[in-house]
Structures are given as structure tokens and as C-alpha cells.
Structure 1
Amino acid sequence: MNTSQTITAQHPDPMSKQGSSTTHTRYVAMTEPVLNDLEVKLISAAKQGLELDCRAVKLTKPNGTPDPSRVIRGDVVQGLLTGKYGADLHPHGIRVRYARVVGSCNPKKPDPAFEYNSLVFPVGVKFSDCWIDHPIVAHDTRMPWLHLDNCRIPYFHADRLRVDGSLYLRCLVSEDGNDLGAVRLLGAHIGRNLELDRAKLHNAAGPAFHAEGLQVDRALRFRAADLKSKCDTGAIQLVNAHVRGDLWLDGTHVDNESGPALNAEGLHVGGSLLLCSGFTATAKSNELATVHLMSVSVGSRLDFSEGRDCTGHLWDVPRGQERAYLPPIAAKIENQKKNEHRNHLVLDLGCASTNDLRLPMQTVCTRSRPPWRLRKRCQPKSKIIVVGLKYAMLSRESDHTHWPHWLRDHTDRFDAEPYQNLAKTLRDSGRTGDARRLLIKLENARFKHSRARWWPPTFVWHLAKWCFVGHGYRPGKALLGLLLVFIATWWLLVQAQHSDAIYRPATRVEGLTNTPSSTPTTTITVSTPTAAASATPAPVTISPPPTSTATSSNPSPATTTPNSATDQCGGTEVARLAADISLPLINTNARLRCDFRPGDASWYARGSLGLQVLGWFFATLFIVGVTGVMRKD
């Protein structure tokens, strides 16, 4: 609106003594904008607590200059929030639907952005299904709540933003971002939820979502979103962010052409971190992993699985149709660029911690067997980092049977710590046998990566420990070997008995001697009572039966030699002899009743000697395994 203002000034006329007056007219352009009908209705609705619905406005991007009577200027919104049109705004806030928010109506001088820096909004702002022509910049701003649902915007930057309630960016479309990001919330603090369900953030010059140091007091939702970027530091950047509730990334597709898809190093999640139900991450990163979760702390569940059957409500999706956006498919992570080790690094969980880990096999690799191979192989050869990963339990979706395959074939270098952590988790859950089998595989992997694996003594000792005692974790195998040695010894002695290689030795009886003198006599005095008390007893002489006429000058023990009918050993005596030979530290004195013939050099005697050595070998392995000396080594 142009108004004229007349200013009259007195000027002395040098040609006249009385002087003369000169009148000057000046035109002033008022800076107060003229409100159109839609903006007047907006001010009235904001004061009454009503929602302004502009369904007649088309959301398709028009060609040429927009009609001023059909749009809302950003200056009017800023004037409402700063009290320019009165401070009597309703607590329900400014709510607009199906509108187009523009800056200057002059196409030759477009506004660079809607700037709301360092403002304190008295009420919340809600734009639904709106087209916002210019970016929104709100650094160091504080507001009760902000909703930008189903809106199109070039980008949204709000560093150190303070929102007392929730920040909704659901179904937000941003395709004209810059090098700072499509949505940038560095150091922001959200009092309740931050939701970007089904958002579409495409940025060809920087990250799609940059929220380093973000704090969310409840949940952060990225469900069924679509994010594409070209940034070396990550499409989604949540470095050192803190989410007190759950972090939902289920059904989200993230693609980065020059860096990781998700960079969340140092992230702290009080609830669950859900990268399930069709989560897809594709990157071209040669330094960081596609999903970089180093030093992440998750209070409840870290889930890469198919997700739960009950997915919960999804924004702007009818009830019962959530599975169309959240399919029951495990997360898929790919890296199309090799690192310095010529490997595709897809997942980094180094030094991360969680209570429940759900990591199915198809998340990292899909094993297939080509027709020309007998063994399944992974294509492509992706790598993971799990050194320092701590978890309390493994769910059924994260079957531990494929973990040895991961730790053996999908890591850049060998480290025993992941094996030990998994074994501890299995023991705590009562699966001691699985833990022992895993530790046996650990020792095999340790030997595979050792430098002295091809030295013959080392190789033989490793093979013996693995086959006969399970590296000290299965000493029962040595006991079984000892039993087999006993059975083999018994069978050998039975065959030797049939071949007359063993016999029953002569019986030696001590104490029986032969004397050279005549037959000895023994005199026994027997007292017979008589009438006279002083009578003397008469001695009686008893002679023993005559003995053999063989004489000897020195007494010697008698020897009894059995005949050929009683020379064979009995079955019990053979078993006792087998125990004496094969079982160390056991002595039943069976050799006094049954033994090999003196001077016998048959293969039975030599075989028994070899079996005795085997018995000592298995007994030693059993003792070393039971006492744990081998495990300490």
C-alpha cells in the first residue's frame, strides 16, 4: 500500500526580504504486507484454536508465479509466532492443512529460507499435506511441538532445537537437500517422540539425516522410510545420539553412493534397536561398514531378524496392511566397495553391548552351492566386526550354529574373544555341550592361523588333541579310547590263548622241605591216671608215614608242575591280564596266574606292548583333559 506524506519546510529566499515557503511532497512505501483472504483466515483460526483447511489448493508444484490469494507467506507465520498480530493465540497452536507456504511473491528476489533462529514459539505449529517452497532454518529455537506431516520441503535444519513435545516429520518429502543434510538436528533435544515414518529423504550432495548428539526422551521412529544420499560420513548419522526409548528402523531402505548407510558410533538406546522387517542398507564405503554400530549400547534388543507378527500401527497406513511396508524378511546389508583388505565390510558391532541379540545368517551372507562345488560358499564374501561385542542371550532367530562360520570366514583377522563370549552365553543359558563344541572350533581356528601349523610335531600334537580329547573339552573321548584299547588287548590275548602263546605258570609253594635223615619220629608223653599218685607217666612214640626217599642236603621249596590238561588260562584270568596290560595304574596280579610263555617273540607279545603304550597315552590325555591342564595351555 502506497501513501503520500506531505512535508512543508520554510526556506529563506535570498532575493526577498520576507522569504518564501517551499512545499515538498514525498511518497513512502509501507513495509506492512497486505494480507490475503487465506492469511486472514489463518490468523483468525490460530486465535480460535481451529485448523485451517485449504483443500482447494493443489499440492503439485505450479509453473510460474503462485497466486498470492491462494498461498500463505512465511512472514505471516513468523509474525503470528512473534506476536505481531497479537499475543492471544490459542494453546492448540497454528494448524494448517493443504496449503502452500511461500516466501516473497516476487520471483526475481526469492527468499533463501524461512529463518526462525533463536525464537521461542508460544504455541506449537502443525502443517499437514502442505507444500513449503523454501527451507526451514530454526537454530537454537524452542517450541512446544512441531508437526510437518505429508509435507514437501527443500530441507529442514534445526541445530540445538528444543522441542518440549514431539517432532513429527512423517511422510516428509525432501529432495533438494544441500551438503549439510536434508534433515539436520545436531544437538537437538526432543522431549517426546521423533517420528519420520515413511519419510522420503533424498540428498545428492550430503547426508539424508544428520543428527549427531541428538537426544530423544522417548522413541525415534524411521519406519518404512526411504533415504538416499551421497556422503562419506553416512546417510543416517546418529553419532553419540541418545534415545531413551526404542529406535525403529524396520522396513527402511537406506542407500549411500559414497559412504556407510548408517553411522551410529557411540549411540545409546535405552530400549530396542530394530533393524528388521525388510530393513535394507546398501553402501559404497571403503573405510566404514555399511551399518557402523561401533560402541553402541542397547538396553533391550538388537534385532536384525524378520520382526514380530504384530508390527504395530504405521502412519497413514490402514489397519491390517502394515505388512505391505514391513515384510517378514530379515535385514539385508550390502557393501559394493572393497576396503584396504579387499573385503566388503558390511557390519561393525565392535565393542557394542545388548541384552538380546537377534542376528540371522542371511543378514550377512547367503550360502549357496554351485553345481560344480561340493561345499556351500558365500557369495559375495562380506566381512563383519564383532570383537568386543557383549550380549546376554541369543534368541531362536539368532541360531548360534552359523556363528563359527562367520567367525572363521567373515572376519578380517582371527580373534578368540568372540568365541569366548559366545561360549559364555551358551553356558549361562544351560547349553554346555554347545559351548564345548564351540571352544573346540576355537582351538582349530587358532591352530589354522598359527605360524607353526605346518611343523610336523605341532601338527601331530594338534591332531591328537583334537581327535582323542577334543582339546581338553571332551576328555570322555580319551576314556572311550582307553576302553577300546582294553577290548583290543583282550581280543589279542584270546587269540594268543588259542595259539598256545600264553599259559598258566607253575605254582610255587613255600615251606615244604625234604630232609636226608631217616624218617623222623615224634614223641608225645601221655599221662595216665593210676591208683598211686607218685607213678611216672609212660611215653608213647608215634611214627609218621614214610615219605619220599629223595634227599637233599639243603631244604628247598617244593614245586608242583601241572599237566597239559590244566595248562590253559581261564576267561577271567585272560580279562585280568588284559586289564593289567592296557589300563595303567591298575594291577590285579594276573601275571601270577596267566602270562606269555618265556622267550615268546611272537606278534602277540609285541602287539601287547604296543597296546600298553597306547593305554598310557590315552590315560595321560584323560587326566590332562579332566584336570584342565590342556585348556590352560
Structure 2
Amino acid sequence: MDQERIPPRLPVDKLTELERTVLDAARLGEPAGLLDRRVDVEELAVTDDPGLCVRAELIRDLLLGRHGELDPRGVLIAGVRVLGLLDLDRVTAVTGLALVGSALPDGFTCRHASLPELALDESLVSGVFAVGLLIEGGLFLRGAVVRSDGEAGGVRLSGAHIGGAAVFDGGELVNSSGPALSAEHLRTEGSLFLCATVARGNGEAGAVRLHSAHIGGQAVFDGAGLVNDSGPALNAEYLRTDGSLSLRTTVARGNGKWGAVRLHSARIGGQAVFDGAGLVNDSGPALNAEYLRTDGSLSLCTHVDDDGHRRNAVMRGRGDAGAVSLHSAHIGGQAVFEEAVIADSGDGPLIVLAEAQVDGLLFLPATVVCPQGRVEAGGRSCVASASRTVVVRGLVFPRLGGVSWREWLHLLVHHTPEYLPQPYQQLAAVERAAGHEGNARQVLIVQQEDLRRRAPEALGGRLARLRYRLWGWLGRYGYRAHRLVLALAAVLALAGGTGYTAGQITTGPGTDHHTAERVRPPLPADTTIPAGTPCSTVELIGLGIDRGLPLGVTGVRARCDLDTSTTAGQVFTIVLWVLQALLWALATLTVAAYTSLIRKPA
């Protein structure tokens, strides 16, 4: 049956004076109600004054068109108490509804309804139940107070579709038994605003629940206060926004392993901004943004208001997940932690960046993790290393900002929970890409030292670890090959010095023969220098080098050699054998080191 043919539940002759005024105003598109003075909505909620009360049935009749044609500007009522539950379930309204500064103590339900627009600005409502609501324009609850006691939520917008913006600025949403705002699978064509909104909820669903919501513009929580003592303050898992997400100066206090603010697998079409925000969770992460993806930057910076007051971003959490967890996140712009104050009240990491990818600058000042901003990469442990750690396993970034490579190296050595090679390789790649090859080599040297210190079992037994330690001392693990060349030259000099020393020692008391001296000439005719004659200084040095060289000979031994029939000669021969073995080893390591350097990409 056509709605126009259905008689209203409240005929005109049964309307109060105020209700007739509302009817006439709706036909003219004018506001009705208490317009000339303001009454506190708390007082309206308990008043019985007929001059301040409008029955819910009249509003339903008006929106169904049962009182005839209404002005397209909608039903506009201000400063009244709505008597009874305002039931608009499955109503297809002929015009919009605005209840401003009014009280709806019995609640408001519009499940699966269709309205051109809905506004409850500055009104007091005991629950807004709008599952599946379709609004062509915007939804406005600016300055509204919603108090409820239900597990499903104080404001229930699950599956709703808003054709414009959804605005809750300055509102107070309270629910002692569930979410203050439950809007999973909500879709808006415009932005979502909860600026300066206070939302107090209860339970694991979150004080504000935006699970799988799709916001066609921005999601803005600037200056909001979100509280939940038994779950997340903001649960936005799988949230999708076409614009930015902003929580500037937002205060969010949550509880539990899901985080105070939960953005697991959220997709942000612009920036994610937490400047000046304060997120607190004493039993889990302050910010849980695992698998977050942003097309723009991530910012946890200081906020400066119009009066010049500065407010740092403060994140305090607890547990192994970290105070700020960005595990496997993908930041399409910069990741900026300038002057952020991050703390874990237990023994967990401050920031988890495992498997994260930052496409722009990673701006993480060293003092965010290490208050002293130290640059030492070895020696004693940093005094803050046990309680202030960062997890960077698999982190990829093109450039560092706010931290020198030495400070970042200090963080890798002293402020990571375990040795891992990839973070060092990443830092070395960044330095190499910037043309700082020497810095890259130093990073890789420190990597090997950290391996030897924190994961010695990976090197093998005690002998293997000792050999690796020697390799590090001699050639800096192949990254300082010139040290091997110097060591090779030193051993050669020692071999020459050994030959010279042998020429100064006699074979025994009362004899003129020396441990190293002229040998018998190979041809009887060559008698110009008889055997037993002392060798010259050059010949003695050449003798040591000749016996020490692993390959090639100088020919000196044909004229001057050790007398191995004596004890001293045998001792010097053994010494030179040892030096020859060292030269073999050093020569091999030098060739290997230089070959490795040649193969490294520039």
C-alpha cells in the first residue's frame, strides 16, 4: 500500500501545541522547537513539560510522509525531548532529519533505514542503533552525547553507507559494556571526523571499532580522547582510507595484546600522522600497526599548536610485540620519529621494524632509542642497551635521517636483541649507494665482530673461533687487505733479520765460523772467496728472505747458507721454516682478500 494512504499514528487533532508547530515547520522547511533559548540536554532528558516534548511517533510519521508533503530541507527540531524510542527501522524517509540540542533518553534506532541526511548535533541520546543505515548525504553528531550499556555498541554503524562525511567532532560517546562507536564495515564517501571526541568503551572489540571500514576521504581523530580498560582504544584492523589518517594530539589508553591503537593490515591512502599523540598500554603495544600500508609518510613527531606549545608524541607499551610495532609494514613515504618518546614499561623492544619497508627517508634519531646517542660499536655494552632495544630484522630503507651511520651502527650492535646479518648488510648498502665505500667496509667489519661476540656457535669449535679471531686481527675479515700486505712485509723483514742474525753468531767457543757463512764454491777453479768466509750484510739478509719465500729463490744460497750441522744452524733453519709457513698463509689470505675486493660491487 502507498505510504501516503496510510494514516498517521498521531492524527493532527491529537497533537500538542509544540507538535503542531513541528508539523507546520516541517512543511515549510523551517526549524521548530526551543529556538530562542538554550536548555541543558540533561534537564531535557527528564522533563515532562508538554511545551518541551515531542512524541517519537510524530517524527516517524513525518519522515514516512504520512502528514503530507514536506519541504526538502527536512525535519528540523531543536531543544526538545523526544518521548519514547525513535524507531526508524527500515524507514525510507522522504526528507532528512535534524534533532539539534535535543534529548532522546529512550534511544534512537534506524537499522536498515534510508535517509537523505541525519543530524543529532549537541543532542543527548541513549544509544544510536544504525546497522545497515543508508544516508545519501552526511551523518552529523557534532557535540552529541551518546550513553549506552550494550555489547553491540553505543553508536552502531556496522555495515552503514554514508554518502557524505560522518562527523562526531566534540562528541562524547560512552558505553560501559561494549564499543562506544561500533562501525565495522562502515563505508563513507566522504571523511570521518572524531576531532576532540571523547570515546569510552569496554571490551576486546575496542572503544572505537572500525574493523574493515572504508573511508572515502580522511579519518581524523585530532585531539580525541579514546579510553578502554579491557581492549583497544581504537581498533581499526583492515581499515581502508582513501585519504590520510590523523591522530594529532590524540590520547588513547588501551589494554591488552591487541594494542592501544590497532591498525593491523590497515591501508592508508595518504599519510598516517601521530604528531603529539599519547598512546598508552600497560599490557601490550601502544601502537600495533603490523602489516600497515601507507601511500604517504608515517609521522610520530612533535606537534606545535597555534600558541607555540610543543607536544611530543609519546608511546608507552609493554611486552615482546614492542611499544610501537610496525612488523611487515610498508610505508610509501618517509617514516619520521622526530623527538618521539617511546618507552616499554617491561623488558620488551621499543620499536619493532621487522620485515618493514620504508620507501622514503627513515628519520629515526638515535636518542629515540639510545638517550646518550652514542657511536661506539664495540667494547663495553651501552648502559641503556638492556632496556631500550629495536628490532630491525629485514628492515629495508633507502636513506637514514636524524642519525649518523655510526649511531645507527651503535644501535645495531648494542640495541638489537640478537645478532642478524641483514641489518648490517642494509646499512652497508645505504653507505655504498651514497659513495661511502670506506664506511660500508667498516660496517661489515663490525658485523663480523658482532657475529663473533653474539653468535660464536655459528663459527664452529674453539679452534675455528680462534682462527676467525686471528683472521679479523690480521685482515679485518678481508675488508682491510692492506693490513695483510703490511703483515706480509713484516714477516719478510723478520726473515731477512733472522738471516742477518745467523751471520753474527759463531758456531761455538773459540771458532771463527758463523752459523751462516760462505759455502764451498761449486767449481774448484773459483777460489777467490774460500769457504767459511763471513757473508756480507746484503747476503745474510738475502739468505733469510731466500729461505723464507714460499715461491722463487734469489740465488744467494749458492754463495751463503746456514750451517745445518750445528745446533744453532738447525734452530735458525726451523725458525725460517716457521716464517716460510707464515708467509705462505699471509700470501694466500692477501690474494683471497684482494680477489674479494675486486668482486665487490662499487
TM-score, normalised via structure 1 length? 0.68
Q: How far apart in 2 are the matches of 1:578 and 1:76?
A: 115
Match of 1:283 in 2: 317
Q: How far apart in 2 are the matches of 1:252 and 1:201?
A: 11
Q: Decide which of 482, 485, 502 is 1:479's aligned counterpart.
A: 485
Match of 2:554 in 1: 588
Q: Decide which of 150, 155, 160 is 1:136's aligned counterpart.
A: 155
Match of 1:560 in 2: 527
Query: Could you tell me how far 1:481 is from its partner in structure 2?
Result: 0.9
Query: Could you tell me how far 1:36 is from its partner in structure 2?
Result: 8.1
Alignment pair present for 1:388 and 2:402: no
Distance change >3 Å, CA 95–CA 417, structure 1 → 2: farther
Alignment pair present for 1:458 and 2:464: yes
Query: Could you tell me how far 1:136 is from its partner in structure 2?
Result: 2.6
Match of 2:406 in 1: 401
Alignment pair present for 1:65 and 2:46: yes
Alignment pair present for 1:252 and 2:293: no
CA contact 1:176–1:182 (8 Å) conserved in 2: yes
Distance change >3 Å, CA 95–CA 446, structure 1 → 2: farther
Distance change >3 Å, CA 466–CA 42, structure 1 → 2: farther
CA contact 1:209–1:235 (8 Å) conserved in 2: yes
SS at the partner of 1:613?
helix
Query: Could you tell me how far 1:493 is from its partner in structure 2?
Result: 4.0
SS at the partner of 2:315?
strand
Q: How far apart in 1 are the matches of 2:397 and 2:567?
A: 63
Q: How far apart in 1 are the matches of 2:437 and 2:62?
A: 68
Match of 1:121 in 2: 135
Q: How far apart in 2 are the matches of 1:31 and 1:386?
A: 72
Distance change >3 Å, CA 232–CA 75, structure 1 → 2: farther
Aligned length: 514
Query: Could you tell me how far 1:455 is from its partner in structure 2?
Result: 4.2
CA contact 2:226–2:251 (8 Å) conserved in 1: yes
Query: Could you tell me how far 1:232 is from its partner in structure 2?
Result: 3.6
SS at the partner of 2:585?
helix
Higher relative contact order (CA 8 A, sep 6+): 1
Query: Could you tell me how far 1:193 is from its partner in structure 2?
Result: 1.0
Match of 1:150 in 2: 170
Alignment pair present for 1:222 and 2:281: no
Match of 1:623 in 2: 591
SS at the partner of 2:296?
coil
Superposition pairs of residues 73-472 of structure 1, within 5 angstroms = 86=70, 88-89=72-73, 100-104=101-105, 112-132=126-146, 135-143=154-162, 144-154=164-174, 155-176=180-201, 180-277=205-302, 278-285=312-319, 288-304=321-337, 306=338, 329-336=339-346, 343-355=347-359, 356-366=361-371, 376-378=382-384, 380-389=386-395, 391-403=396-408, 405-408=410-413, 410-447=415-452, 448-451=454-457, 455-472=461-478
Amino acid at match of 2:138: G
Q: How far apart in 2 are the matches of 1:600 and 1:265?
A: 77
1:330-388: CA deviations, max 9, x gaps?
Answer: 3413143xxxxxx424433232222233333333444699xxx9763226534543333
CA contact 2:300–2:336 (8 Å) conserved in 1: yes
Q: How far apart in 2 are the matches of 1:246 and 1:332?
A: 20
Moved more, 65-74 or 269-278: 65-74
Moved more, 614-623 or 575-584: 575-584
Query: Could you tell me how far 1:247 is from its partner in structure 2?
Result: 0.7
CA contact 2:106–2:125 (8 Å) conserved in 1: no
Q: How far apart in 1 are the matches of 2:254 and 2:36?
A: 33
Distance change >3 Å, CA 67–CA 466, structure 1 → 2: farther
CA contact 2:389–2:417 (8 Å) conserved in 1: yes
List alignment gaps of at least 5 residues for structure 2.
Answer: 1-9, 75-94, 108-123, 149-153, 175-179, 303-311, 506-513
CA contact 1:147–1:167 (8 Å) conserved in 2: yes
RMSD of aligned residue pairs (Cα, Å) = 4.6
SS at the partner of 1:201?
strand
Query: Could you tell me how far 1:242 is from its partner in structure 2?
Result: 0.8
Query: Could you tell me how far 1:122 is from its partner in structure 2?
Result: 3.0
Amino acid at match of 1:289: G
CA contact 1:59–1:130 (8 Å) conserved in 2: no
Distance change >3 Å, CA 388–CA 127, structure 1 → 2: same
Q: How far apart in 2 are the matches of 1:590 and 1:163?
A: 93
Q: How far apart in 2 are the matches of 1:56 and 1:189?
A: 40
Q: How far apart in 2 are the matches of 1:80 and 1:586?
A: 110
CA contact 2:366–2:373 (8 Å) conserved in 1: no
Amino acid at match of 2:207: A
Amino acid at match of 1:152: E
Alignment pair present for 1:610 and 2:591: no
Distance change >3 Å, CA 380–CA 490, structure 1 → 2: closer
Distance change >3 Å, CA 145–CA 212, structure 1 → 2: same
CA contact 2:297–2:335 (8 Å) conserved in 1: yes
List alignment gaps of at least 5 residues for structure 1.
Answer: 1-26, 307-328, 337-342, 510-556
Q: Which structure would you say has the larger Rg?
A: 1
SS at the partner of 2:401?
coil
Distance change >3 Å, CA 188–CA 40, structure 1 → 2: farther
Q: How far apart in 2 are the matches of 1:74 and 1:505?
A: 126
Query: Could you tell me how far 1:473 is from its partner in structure 2?
Result: 3.2
Q: How far apart in 2 are the matches of 1:117 and 1:167?
A: 17
1:247-277: CA deviations, max 9, x gaps?
Answer: 1112211112333222222221111122333
CA contact 2:218–2:241 (8 Å) conserved in 1: yes
CA contact 2:191–2:218 (8 Å) conserved in 1: yes
Moved more, 440-449 or 166-175: 440-449
Moved more, 275-284 or 444-453: 444-453
CA contact 2:381–2:414 (8 Å) conserved in 1: no
1:53-73: CA deviations, max 9, x gaps?
Answer: 989758897798369888999
Amino acid at match of 2:170: N
TM-score, normalised via structure 2 length? 0.71
CA contact 2:106–2:126 (8 Å) conserved in 1: no
CA contact 1:263–1:293 (8 Å) conserved in 2: yes
Query: Could you tell me how far 1:225 is from its partner in structure 2?
Result: 0.8
CA contact 1:74–1:103 (8 Å) conserved in 2: no
Q: How far apart in 2 are the matches of 1:590 and 1:116?
A: 103
